[in-house]
A and B are shown apart, each in its own frame.
Chain A
């Protein structure tokens, strides 16, 4: 499937807020309320059956956190990236782990590292960080007593 076909097929069903093509891969940006419908459509109609990972990027300059979902299709051998912008002071989004089972652990890790709350996730206990850690480590303004500047 070429980009133009893929983009048109998505645009015909959903209202997207942006799209671009980056080094050969289509990036689609959508509002957070429609993410579950878009992923269900991508899985069942367009045969994107494999999710590589889901993670987040912190942009303090724009005051938002961007969540990305990287999908792949074993039948058509194409990739697609879905991006959602969330408000940095209160990031919340619905879970997609019943559509893609891989997302269960990836969302757990993103939640503890960035502070995103995934609504309806079955189990959001911290996965990798130690108990009792305050703050969200992968945000750009994370401070901890052990982070000491080394001499050059």
Chain B
């Protein structure tokens, strides 16, 4: 089938050429294809091609029962597994009127913040590798290994946990879990300071990223950005404060923002978020009540007919799930609103006018992940 190329070179005498940053590339964080129209080393125009990982998830969900869908929500974004499980379970619980017990609510917050630290550590490692620093990955993955072992002892899997259920958890946390988390929290602040000094405050990185691709607050809201990508532009927007869910209103934490909205600010915001997550986990562990972790739910899950939209704050931004139910055992329509979809639609605004080496740094600072764009 013939499709017209959306990029054209103006005339044969100019210095312009088309460069394909193809789907197989170590820095595109998945299978993303960018067609760049270049003039020497400066980017003039960009057209992204997506859909290499499209699995038809929304169509598949219309044929599955509600409880069979939970493992699929992990696989939309394999780095922010817990928020994806949470937003789906929250939607079904709202339609069915299920109340989650108190202990399960605190445990949900602890797991979500642990997952946020894990995701930001992996972002740190891969961002370092993108810009050419090969040392940060060895530091960051040491923490991540310990966190993954803790999550494995609690949920059974290192990576794609599949942990939440409607109404809480299937089983309580194992015996050494809280001690393991406390041991880690004792040194996480010093470690984050060390990581920041190693990469983010490094003179090579600051020269490469300060002043590159700033975006203003109004433009960011128009494009629909969310998460650290918009918080770098001096906008304190966070679902945990705007529309609190779970037991987040009981905790004391701040929302870090950047000043100028350029690439360096987006990176610095993520390091500060790791510190705030550690503060939330400390408060949650101190206040963890005793009790059961699962509510009483019916054997067959059949929500009442209706629609609901729930949001949570994931590591990349604002994750939303729109659920339409018609009273049967299978959903009528599920629409997943993912933050990377809107974040990457602003790519043309950010890249045009900068050099090809900046393209990699800008893509890294947006922290997109392709499976959640393609679904």
Contacts and interface: CB of A to CB of B under 8 A. Distances in A.
A25 B94 CA distance: 14
Q: How large is the interface on A (under 10, 10 to 19, 20 to 34, 35 or more residues)?
A: 20 to 34
B309 interface: yes
A16 interface: no
A41 interface: no
B3 A105 contact: no
Nearest to B373: A128
A102 B345 contact: yes
A52 interface: yes
Interface residues of B, number: 34
A128 B54 contact: yes
Contacts of A22: 306-307
A124 to B, nearest CB: 11
A52 B54 contact: no
A55 interface: yes
A131 B222 contact: no
Interface string B35-53: 0000000000000001100
B94 A23 contact: yes
A106 to B, nearest CB: 8
A138 interface: yes
B222 A128 contact: no
Contact of B223 (A70, A79, A101, A125): A101
A102 B224 contact: yes
Contacts of A129: 51, 54
A128 B50 contact: yes
A132 B1 contact: yes
A125 B6 contact: yes
Contact of A128 (B306, B337, B374): B374
Contact of A100 (B51, B222, B306, B322): B222
Contacts of B243: 77
Nearest to B225: A102
Given A125-B6, A138-B59, A55 B322 contact: yes
Given A52-B224, A55-B322, A137-B56, 18 more contacts: A49-B221, A50-B221, A52-B309, A52-B337, A55-B335, A74-B221, A74-B237, A77-B243, A102-B222, A102-B223, A102-B342, A125-B3, A128-B51, A128-B54, A128-B374, A129-B51, A132-B1, A138-B58
Interface of B: 1, 3, 6, 50-51, 54, 56, 58-59, 94, 221-224, 237, 242-243, 306-309, 320, 322, 324, 332-333, 335, 337, 341-342, 345-346, 374-375
